[in-house]
Each structure stands twice: as structure tokens, then as C-alpha cells.
Amino acid sequence: MGRETVAVLIPCFNEAPTIGVVVRQFREQIPEARIYVFDNNSTDQTASEAQTAGATVYREPRQGKGYVVQSMFRRIDADIYVMVDGDGTYPAQDVHRLIAPILAGTADMVVGSRLDQASRSEFKTLNRWGNRLFLWVLRLTFHVHLGDLLSGYRAFSRRFVKGMPLFGGGFETETELTIKALQRGYVIVEVPVTLRNRPEGSHSKIRIAQDGTRILHTTLSLFRDYKPLTFFGTLGLVLIAASLVPGLIVILEFIETGLVPRLPSAVLAVGLALSGMLSITIGLILHSIARRSQELATQLEMLREEWGKQLKAEIGRRDED
């Protein structure tokens, strides 16, 4: 693996029955890695179990997996990052397949796909259909084809981790990671992994209705932010099309009688048409702003990488001296 440092990041909330095993399994697979457990206000022995197993434990007081991921990315420094849930459902031996594309420089984020044909994941039916629904929404809005949107088993490059702004606080963080990676031009690779059932005594923290709503809201919000012309343009066209229904009735009556007896219908038609045109105009303006913001972000990323290369070269020269 060379001189690259590897950090295994494990977000945890009440995972005392499994976290010790997870830490030991990853220690066995990649002995040179540093393993960090981020305890998110657990009320059981998660922190002590993780420390006993040899992990470094941090505490994140803001409740929610998204806040934990933000804290992990900000506080931990490494060349390669592996993020995995602490519930023991992801096999540690698959970590080598996740890391390989990062080491080869062919990916910025590697997703362990639980829905790949080569995997033998033990999925609950409701979870499987929920994942497929979110994937369908992603394909409809962003025109991308991925196999698993919500996997909690991922590997990242340093470039990705230090250049990715995250804001979501809950289980929508995987959705935010994926969509922002796609829109910012990062390379995503999927490798098959097998999801296992939770061990006895371990319980899922996902609230299906609430977390599902947040995931859909995040997808649509990012669709609005990254594709404003499509979002507002579609809304505008729908409003203009809706204005044709009362508008045509008023126009036909005016042609026949020379009068406008349905004044409310005329006002409604004009209002819908004006709202539609305003929505399209807003989309055009926001599209221009988004394009300029993307150009600025790209330029800043290039400057950051150039500065990083110069810093490494300077450190190399000092070491030689």
C-alpha cells in the first residue's frame, strides 16, 4: 500500500453489541490503518467497547449521521478514507476492493453496492424497494445510473474528503455525498459487497417514513440547486400549460360573442401564464449563477491541488536536506 495512510471512520449510535467486533475485523484486514469511532451520544457502552478494541474515539454532540460525517471529514487527516457502519452488517474483508480504485487513482469515491448482481445481500423487502425508489428519483432528476444510493460502506480519496461541503444532518448524507460528487465531476466506482443481517441485540436506527422523506427532500433540493433551469423551467412550462385551459375557454367565448363573461377565468389564465414565464426567467438567472459558481469551485480546486503539490515538493526537499 506504500506510504499512503488509511483511516477507517465508523459513525456509531448505540452499537455496543457490535462495535468491538467491527474494529477488530478491520484491524485484522488493514493493520496499518488508523481506526476512528465517532460516538454520536450513545447511551450504552459503545465508546468503551471501541476503545477496548483499539479504536480512537471521538464524540460528536450534534445528533445525526450527517453531522458525524461532517465531523469525521473535518477532523481526520489521511490519504485514503474508509467509512463503514458500526453495526457489523458490512464484511471487513471487502475493504481491499474498496480501497483498490483509490490507490490506483481511478476513483474519488468507491461505493460498496449491496444491490449488485454479484452480491448476496440480506435485504429487508421494504428497504430494498425504498432504495429502488430513491434510485428512480435520482435517475429521473440527474440522469445518472447507480446501483446503490444509500450504502454506508464507502472509500474516499483525500481530494474528495477535503473538497466536499456537506450540510445534511441525518441519514440523507449518503444521498448528498453521491449527488454532489456527480455534479462536481468526481469519479464514482461501485464494487459489489454483501450486506449481512444485524447480529442479535443490534437494532436499526432508521425511521423509514421520516428518513425517507428527508432523503427525497434532499434529492429535490439538490436538483433545484444544481439544475435550476431544468427545475424552474419545468415548473414554468407546467404553469403555462395549465393557463391554456381557462385561457382557451375565454378566447373561444370572446371569438363567438365579442365579450369576456368569465373574468375570473381570464385573470386565472393570465396569472398562471405570468407565473410560468417568471419561473422560467428565475431558472435562467440561477442557471447562469450556478455555472459561474461551478467554474469558481473548479478554479479553487485546481489552485488547492497545485498548492498541495508545491507543499509536498517543499517538504521533500527539506527531508533531503
In terms of domains, do 130 and 146 share one?
Answer: yes
Q: Tell me the C-alpha to C-alpha distance, in Å, between residue 108 and each of 103, 113, 133, 162, 270.
A: 10, 16, 26, 11, 49
Measured CA distances, 306 to 157, 300, 317 (Å): 16, 10, 17
pLDDT of residue 8: 97
For residues 189 and 260, membership in a common domain is answered with no
β-pairing verdict for 154-157 and 109-113: antiparallel
HSE-CB of 270 using CA atoms within 13 angstroms: 8
Residue 217 shares a structural domain with residue 240: no
The answer to the question of residue 1 being in a domain is: no
Last residue of a domain, one of 225, 242, 260: 225
Q: Which of 151, 152, 155 is nearest to 116 (CA)?
A: 151
CA atoms within 13 A on the CB side of 64: 16
Element (H, E) at 24: helix 16-29
Span 33-82, pLDDT tens digits: 999 999 999 999 999 999 999 999 999 999 999 999 999 999 999 999 99
Q: What is the CATH number of the domain that holds 106?
A: 3.90.550.10
Both 152 and 187 in one domain: the answer is yes
Give the residues across from 109 on adjacent strands: 156, 188
Place of cell 440480506: 122
pLDDT at 10 over 90: yes
- pLDDT band of residue 123 (cuts 50, 70, 90) is low
Q: pTM of the entire structure?
A: 0.79
- The reply to whether 234 and 156 lie within a common domain is no
What does the mean pLDDT of the chain come to?
A: 87
pLDDT of residue 264: 86
Tell which of 173, 192, 225 closes a domain.
225
Q: Is the pLDDT of residue 130 over 80?
A: no
Q: Are residues 218 and 249 in the same domain?
A: no
User: Do 73 and 122 reside in the same domain of the chain?
Assistant: yes
Q: What is the Cβ-side half-sphere exposure of residue 235, based on CA atoms within 13 angstroms?
A: 17
Three-state SS across 166-226? CCCCCCCHHHHHHHHHHHCCCCEEEEECCCCCCCCCCCCCCCHHHHHHHHHHHHHHHHHHH
Question: Are 278 and 203 in the same domain?
Answer: no
74-122, pLDDT tens digit by residue?
Answer: 999 999 999 999 988 999 999 999 999 999 999 999 999 988 777 776 6
In a domain, 110, yes or no: yes
- Report residue 201's pLDDT band, with 50, 70 and 90 as the boundaries: low
User: What is the predicted pLDDT for the residue at 233?
Assistant: 94
Q: Which domain holds residue 279?
A: 228-320
Cell of 91: 464484511
Provide, rounded to the nearest whole percent, the portion of the chain with pLDDT above 90: 51
Same domain, 158 and 74: yes
Task: Tell me the per-residue pLDDT of 137-180, one tens digit each, with 9 for 90 and over.
Answer: 888 888 878 888 888 999 999 999 988 888 888 878 989 999 99
Q: Of 225, 251, 273, which residue constitutes the final position of a domain?
A: 225
Count of domains observed in the chain? 2
Percent of the chain with pLDDT strictly greater than 70: 91
